Structure 1
Amino acid sequence: MKLLIKSLALAASLSFAAGTAFADNLPIKFTLDWKAQGPHSWFYLAKEKGYFADEGLDVTIDQGEGSSAAVTRVMSGTYDAGFGDINALIRAAAKAPDEAPVMVYLVYNGAPFAIISKKDGDVQSLKDLEGKTVAAPTGSATFQLFPALAEANGFDAGKVELLNASQNLIEQMLVRGQADAIAQFGQTSYMNFIAMDLDPNEDFNWFYYSDNGLDLYSNGIIVSKKLIEDHPEAVEGLVAAINRAIMDVVADPEVGIDALVAIEPLTDTGLEAERLQYTIDNQLETAETAEIGLGDLDTQRLGNSIQMNADLESFDRLPEASAIFDGSFLPEKSERMLPAAN
Structure 2
Amino acid sequence: MLKTWTATLLAGLAWAGSALAQEATIKFTLGWKTQGSDAAFFVARDKGYYKAEGLNVVIDQGEGSGATVTRVMSGAYDAGFGDVNAIIQNAAARPGEAPVMVYMMWNRPPFAIVTKKATGVTKPAELVGKTLGGAQGTPTTRLLEVFARKNGVPMDKVKLSNMAPNLQEPLLIKGDIDGALVFNITSYFNLVLNRQDPDKDFNWLMFGDYGLDLYSNGLMVSQKLIKDNPKAVAGLVRATNKAMIEIAGDQGLGMKGVVNFDNLVDEKVEKRRLQYSFSELIVSPEMKEIGIGDTKDERMARAIGIIVEGYQLARTPAPSEIFSRQFLPPKAERELVYTAN
Bin of the TM-score, shorter chain as denominator length:
0.7 to 0.9
Partner residue in 2 for 1:102: 100
1:165 alignment counterpart: 164
SS of the residue corresponding to residue 184 of structure 1 reads strand
The answer to whether structure 1 residue 87 and structure 2 residue 85 are counterparts is: yes
Partner of 2:267: 269
Letter in 2 for 1:83: F
Q: What's the offset of the Cα at 1:248?
A: 1.2
Q: Counterpart of 2:133 in structure 1: which amino acid?
A: V
**Per-residue deviation at 1:274?**
1.6
After superposition, the Cα gap between the structure-2 partners of 1:20 and 1:189, relative to the gap in structure 1 and judged at 3 Å, is farther
**1:223 maps to what in 2?**
221
Instruction: State the one-letter code of the partner of 2:235.
Output: G
Cα distance 1:131–1:110, how it changes in 2: closer, same or farther (>3 A)? closer
Matches within 5 A, 1:224-243: 224-243=222-241
Q: State the alpha-carbon separation in 2 of the partners of residues 188 and 232 from structure 1.
A: 33
In structure 2, what residue type is equivalent to 1:220?
G
Shift of 1:306: 1.3
* CA positional deviation for 1:147: 3.1
CA RMSD in angstroms comes to 2.9
TM-score, normalising length: structure 1: 0.87
8 Å contact kept, 1:114–1:209: yes
- Larger mean Cα displacement after TM superposition, 124-133 or 194-203: 124-133
What's the secondary structure of 1:200's corresponding residue? coil
Amino acid at match of 1:152: K
Unaligned segments of structure 2, at least 5 residues = none
1:85 deviates by: 1.3
Change (3 A) 1:244 1:207: same
Give the alignment of 1:1-342 within 5 angstroms: 21-22=19-20, 24-121=22-119, 126=124, 128=127, 132-136=131-135, 140-155=138-153, 160-166=159-165, 168-177=166-175, 179-341=177-339
Unaligned runs of 5+ residues in structure 1 are: none
Report the Cα distance in structure 1 between the residues aligned to 2:120 and 2:279, rounded to whole angstroms: 31
| Residues 116 and 220 of structure 1, relative CA distance in 2, 3 Å threshold | same
Q: In structure 1, how many angstroms separate the alpha carbons of the residues matched to 2:13 and 2:187? A: 47
**Matches of 2:182 and 2:283, distance apart in 1:** 20
Deviation, 1:197, is 2.1
Q: Is the 8 A contact 1:80 1:223 kept in 2?
A: yes
CA distance in 2, matches of 1:132, 1:122: 13
Residue by residue over 1:195-229, the C-alpha shift from the partner in whole angstroms, topping out at 9 and shown as x without a partner, is 32211122212110012111111111111111111
C-alpha separation in 2, matches of 1:257 and 1:139: 32
Q: 1:139 to 1:107 in 2, by over 3 A?
A: farther
Deviation per CA, 1:71-127: give whole Å up to 9, x if none.
222122222111111122112111111211111110001222211122334866545
Whichever residue aligns with residue 251 of structure 1, its letter is G
Give secondary structure in 2 for the equivalent of 1:120: helix
Q: Which stretch has the larger CA shift, 298-307 or 265-274?
A: 265-274
Higher mean C-alpha displacement, 250-259 vs 78-87: 78-87
Q: Percent identity?
A: 44
Distance verdict in 2 for CA 1:256–1:126, change over 3 Å: same
CA drift at 1:139 = 6.7
State the Cα distance separating 1:299 from its structure 2 match: 0.7
User: C-alpha offsets along residues 284-308 of structure 1, whole Å, 9 cap, x if unaligned?
Assistant: 2111111110000111111111112
Change (3 A) 1:250 1:321: same
What one-letter code is carried by the residue in structure 2 that aligns with 1:161? L
Cα contact 1:69–1:140 (8 A) shared by 2: no
The CA deviation at 1:267 is: 2.2
Closer/same/farther in 2, CA of residues 14 and 42 from structure 1, 3 Å limit: farther
